[in-house]
Structure 1
Amino acid sequence: MNTSLNSIVITTIHCSLYRFLGFILLIASCTNLFITFRYLTSRYFTKTKHFTINRSSPVISGMLFSSTLVIFTTVPFVIMQCFTCQAYFSHEIICKMHGFVCFCAGLFNMYIVALLSFSRYLSILHKPSWLNRLFEQRCDLNVLCCALLAICWTFPPIFGIGNEYVREGVGFYCSLNWKNPSIYSRIYLISVIFFNY
C-alpha cells in the first residue's frame, strides 16, 4: 500500500506505525477521560461535609476542560487518519478547527502553568501582600483571563489575519504556517514567540 500525500509516500511500514500510534493515542485519550470523569464526580457530585474549593480548583478544572476539548474535537480526526492512513485535514474548515483548538489549548495550558508558578511565588515569599489575596480570591477570574488571552492569540489566523493554519508533515496535523514569507506573518510569529514562549 503506497499512498502519496503532498509528495510524501506513506508505505505499509509507515501505515502500521501510524496505526500503532493511533492505538496509543486512543488508550491515552480514554485514560484521560476516565481520570477527568473520576475527578469531577468525586469533586463536585459527591456530597461530603469537607468540601472546600481552594485556589487550585479552577486551575485544575480549566486544564481538564482544555484536555477534554482537545480529546473531543481533534483527537477523533487524528485517530481516524492514523487507522485509515489518509489525511482528512485537506478540508480547510477541519484544518482550521484543529489548528485553532490545539494552539489555543497549548497556549492556555502554558498560561495556567505560568499562573501557578506566579501564584506559588506570591504565596511563599509575599504571603501578606494584596496581590496574593487577589490571586486567592479571584482564581476563577485569573483562569478566565488565561483562556481569553489564549483565544485572542489564536483567533486571528482563522481569518488569515497575521498567519493561517495549514497542514504539516504527512498531513495528519494542522498548525501555523511557519514558512509564510510575508511580513505580517513574520511579525505575528515573532510576537507569538516573544510574548508567549
Structure 2
Amino acid sequence: MKTEPLKIFINVTQLSSEVSNLFVMSNYDCFIYRSMSTVFIISSIIFFILNIRFLLIDRHRLNPLALNLIINALISISFTLPYITIQAINCHPIQEYIVCRLQAFICFTCGICVMYTISLLAVVQYIRLFYNSSILHQIFEHKNNFLIPILCWLISLVWSFPPFINIKPGFKRQGKGFDCGINWKADDLRSGLYISLVFLFIYFLPLFCLIYTNVRILKTIRKLIYLRNSLIPQATVGIPRDSRHHFIDVLTVAESNRLKRLRIDRRFAQAIMIAVIHYLLAWTPYATCAIIQIVTAMNYIQYQLPLMLITASALLAKLAVMGQSCVYFYTVRSLNR
C-alpha cells in the first residue's frame, strides 16, 4: 500500500528535476538566444509586412497555391512571433506545456503545408508544359480552384494532429526548452514508423518532386528554345515563292509567341529552383539535427547535440515557413524584369 504513493512521488520528482535542468540558462546561453530571437523577430516583422503588401497589391493575380503560401506565413507569424518575443524578453521558456505544444502543432502544420505547396507549384508548371491538354491541367489552371490548397491543409493536419493529441511519438520540448517538436528520441515501433514516414513523405518526397520537375522543365525548355532557328526554313519548303513571304511573317509571329511563352516558363522554373535552394538551406539543418537525435537514441553513436544548436535549427525552420512566400514572389518578379 505504501509503495504506490512512493512510486508516484519519485516520478513527479524526476520529472520536475528534468524540467528544472532543461530550463537552466547561463548568461552565454541567454545572450545567444536573445541574439537569435532578435534576428527572428525583425525578420518576422519584415515578412509580415511584405506578405500583407502582396495581398493588397497582387491579390487579383494570385493563384490559389501562391495565396496559400501567404496564408501559411501569416498564420505562422501570428502565433510564433508573440511566443518567441515573450521568451526572449524573459530569457526563459514559457512554462505552460500546452502553449508550447500548440505552437509546435501550428508550426508543424504550416511547415508541412508550405513544403507541399512549393512542390505543387513545380508540379503545376510541369503539367502545364508536358500535359497541357489533360484534365489535371484544367483543374490546376482554374484560378478559383481552392481544392488543391484545402487538400494540402488536410494532409498536413493528418500528419500533425496525432502528435498534438499525444499519440506517439508526440511533441516534446527540445533544446533548452524554448521550442516543442516531434519527439525524435522515441524508440517504440509506432514512433519509429511515424518518424520514418515523416522523413519520407514530408522532407524527401517534396524535395524529389522539386528537383525532378525543375531539372526536366529546364532541360526541355532549353532544347525547345535552341530549335527556333531551324523551324522556319523547314516549314517553308514546298511553298510558292510569292506566298512564302506572308507565310514566313505568320510563322515568325507564332514562333515569337512560342518563345515568349517558353521564356516565361523558364523564368518560373528558375524561380522554383531558387525555392529549392531555400528549401535545402532552411530545412536541412533541422532534419540533420533530428536524424542525429534519432541515431543517438538508438545507441548507434554516442554524441550529444549542443542544445542551442537544436534551438537555432528550429528557429531557422520557422523562418523558412514565414519567408517562403517572399522568396518565391521576389524571385518571380526579378526574373520577369
What is the TM-score with the length of structure 1 in the denominator? 0.85
Q: After superposition, what is the alpha-carbon deviation per residue over 1:23-46, rounded to whole angstroms, capped at 9, x for unaligned? A: 2111111111111121112234xx
Identity of aligned residues (%): 28
Aligned match of 1:156: 162
Aligned match of 2:190: 184
Q: Secondary structure at the match of 1:74?
A: helix
Aligned match of 2:83: 77
* Distance in 2 (alpha carbons) for counterparts of 1:26 and 1:152: 30
Aligned match of 2:269: none
| Post-superposition offset of 1:9 | 4.4
Gaps of 5+ in 1: 45-50
Aligned match of 1:94: 99
Asked whether the 8 Å contact 2:163–2:171 carries over to 1, the reply is yes
* Distance in 2 (alpha carbons) for counterparts of 1:171 and 1:71: 20
Q: Secondary structure at the match of 1:38?
A: helix
Matched, 1:144 2:144: no
Asked whether the 8 Å contact 1:21–1:82 carries over to 2, the reply is no
Q: For 1:35, give the aligned amino acid.
A: L
Hey, which of these two has a bigger chunk of helix by percent?
2
Asked whether the 8 Å contact 1:25–1:79 carries over to 2, the reply is no
Matched, 1:24 2:4: no
| Post-superposition offset of 1:179 | 0.7
Q: For 1:107, give the aligned amino acid.
A: I
Give the aligned CA root-mean-square deviation in angstroms: 1.9
Aligned match of 1:35: 50
* Distance in 2 (alpha carbons) for counterparts of 1:74 and 1:5: 24
Asked whether the 8 Å contact 2:76–2:106 carries over to 1, the reply is yes
* Distance in 1 (alpha carbons) for counterparts of 2:32 and 2:89: 10
| Post-superposition offset of 1:118 | 0.7
Matched, 1:132 2:137: yes
Q: Secondary structure at the match of 1:160?
A: coil
| Post-superposition offset of 1:14 | 2.2
* Distance in 2 (alpha carbons) for counterparts of 1:150 and 1:32: 22
* Distance in 2 (alpha carbons) for counterparts of 1:7 and 1:99: 18
Look at both structures and tell me which one has the larger radius of gyration over its CA atoms.
Answer: 2
Q: Secondary structure at the match of 1:181?
A: coil
Q: For 1:6, give the aligned amino acid.
A: N
Q: Secondary structure at the match of 2:184?
A: coil
* Distance in 2 (alpha carbons) for counterparts of 1:70 and 1:6: 29
Aligned match of 1:165: 171
Asked whether the 8 Å contact 2:23–2:93 carries over to 1, the reply is no
* Distance in 1 (alpha carbons) for counterparts of 2:187 and 2:140: 41
Q: Secondary structure at the match of 1:162?
A: coil
| Post-superposition offset of 1:7 | 4.8
Q: After superposition, what is the alpha-carbon deviation per residue over 1:108-141, rounded to whole angstroms, capped at 9, x for unaligned? A: 0010011111101011122222221121126421
* Distance in 1 (alpha carbons) for counterparts of 2:184 and 2:29: 25
Q: Secondary structure at the match of 1:71?
A: helix
Q: After superposition, what is the alpha-carbon deviation per residue over 1:171-191, rounded to whole angstroms, capped at 9, x for unaligned? A: 111100011122221121112
* Distance in 1 (alpha carbons) for counterparts of 2:83 and 2:49: 20
Q: For 2:97, give the aligned amino acid.
A: E
Q: For 1:101, give the aligned amino acid.
A: I
| Post-superposition offset of 1:57 | 2.1
Runs of 4+ with deviation above 3 angstroms: none
Aligned match of 1:48: none
| Aligned positions, number | 184
Q: For 2:67, give the aligned amino acid.
A: S
Could you say if the C-alpha distance between residues 81 and 133 of structure 1 is closer, same or farther in structure 2, counting changes exceeding 3 Å?
same
* Distance in 1 (alpha carbons) for counterparts of 2:137 and 2:157: 26
| Post-superposition offset of 1:170 | 0.5
Asked whether the 8 Å contact 2:51–2:73 carries over to 1, the reply is no
